[in-house]
Copies of this chain bind each other. A is one copy, B any other.
């Protein structure tokens, strides 16, 4: 099968190397790049039309990132009946329903396993499990950057700023790290994973999110005293009357499998009525892990393996359906807050069970008087 790559960065380059090494099955005919690299004149082009108009190209792998021109390239390629594989976080989340429908209309596939989990075949295994099971819950550590920061803070006692700098130095965090540390990357992965699991397009803005920007080394020390480990967790669950879906720091017991997820690894979990709990742990990012997921998507297209379906309906998460206790640390303690639970050492409150929507709404109010406040769920 002839393949075109859009972009030749980290992930695109990884996929290219893997396909060249595989010798057989797939062949890269074109690579769209900003400029032609010496020695790669035969395969590189700067004109997307060379790819769009080449009838031999059956799969287009989009690794350029960002919304535009990725959206235009992908829609044009789908209309030209070319399969798409993509690792583009923003594109898939913003245009999930539209692109899935467009792929369906044109009788081609849109796959994005590498999109969530990097090298971890999370979405593939989720879709596969669903063939003969009802998924009741999904959860996990889906952002390697924040896991690396929390891991460094916990293991080395680093303050947040130093842990972030180390992550940036090692290439695990971007120069502008907001999407990771504020939880928006995990929020996108939560929305799409829940959409795949529960067969509806879960609206990204209905997924409550709270990140780790304001976690301190003092918080980490308090968690250690509690015998807990803090992880930024994605959670989505099917209830009788709807679906809950949220991203928040969670305090896990040391015995939880997620507690031993080190460095920038990911761990994702599904719970099915038949299979029970199934967790996958692996490299959530990186040139070759993510590149191999992209190549796996191409091979799954080639053998027509089971893939994601266009969502049947729109869903808004309802986080009043889920409740648990919280660790709440704020300098703006009021009599009202004290009534939520028990004050510990004058430093933080362990609340009685609150709904997730109550806690996230309260945090937004508290941030106005105490922008550095922090909370974490205790499940």
Contact = CB atoms under 8 A, between A and B. Distances in A.
A289 B131 CA distance: 14
B296 A128 contact: yes
B288 A274 contact: yes
A278 interface: yes
A291 B274 contact: yes
Interface in A238-279: 254-257, 259-262, 265, 272-279
* From A128, A132, A281, residue with most partner B Cβ within 10 Å: A132
This chain: how many copies in the complex?
2
A299 interface: yes
Contact of A281 (B131, B132, B279, B292): B279
A183 interface: no
Contact of A262 (B255, B273, B274): B255
Interface residues of A, number: 48
Given A132-B292, A275-B288, A288-B275, A281 B257 contact: yes
A276 B288 contact: yes
A128 B293 CA distance: 11
A42 interface: no
A308 interface: no
Nearest to A271: B282
Contacts of A289: 274-276
Nearest to A282: B278
Contacts of A282: 275-279
Contacts of A14: 274
A216 interface: no
Contacts of A335: none
Nearest to A19: B132
A170 interface: no
A18 interface: yes
Contacts of A120: 278
Interface string A97-128: 00000000000000000000001110011001
A292 B305 contact: no
Contacts of A125: 121, 125
A160 to B, nearest CB: 22
A276 B272 contact: no
A303 interface: yes
A280 interface: yes
Contact of A303 (B119, B280, B286, B306): B306
Interface string A298-325: 0100011110000000000000000000
A22 interface: yes
A140 to B, nearest CB: 12
A25 to B, nearest CB: 8
A280 B283 contact: no
Contacts of A129: 292
B257 A261 contact: yes
A299 B128 CA distance: 10
A78 interface: no
21 contacts: A14-B274, A18-B133, A18-B274, A22-B132, A119-B276, A119-B278, A128-B296, A132-B292, A132-B295, A256-B260, A257-B261, A259-B260, A265-B277, A273-B288, A274-B288, A274-B289, A275-B288, A276-B286, A278-B280, A279-B279, A303-B304
Q: Which 8 A-B pairs have CB atoms at the shortest separation, nearest pair first?
A: A278-B282, A274-B292, A274-B288, A279-B281, A276-B283, A119-B275, A132-B295, A260-B260
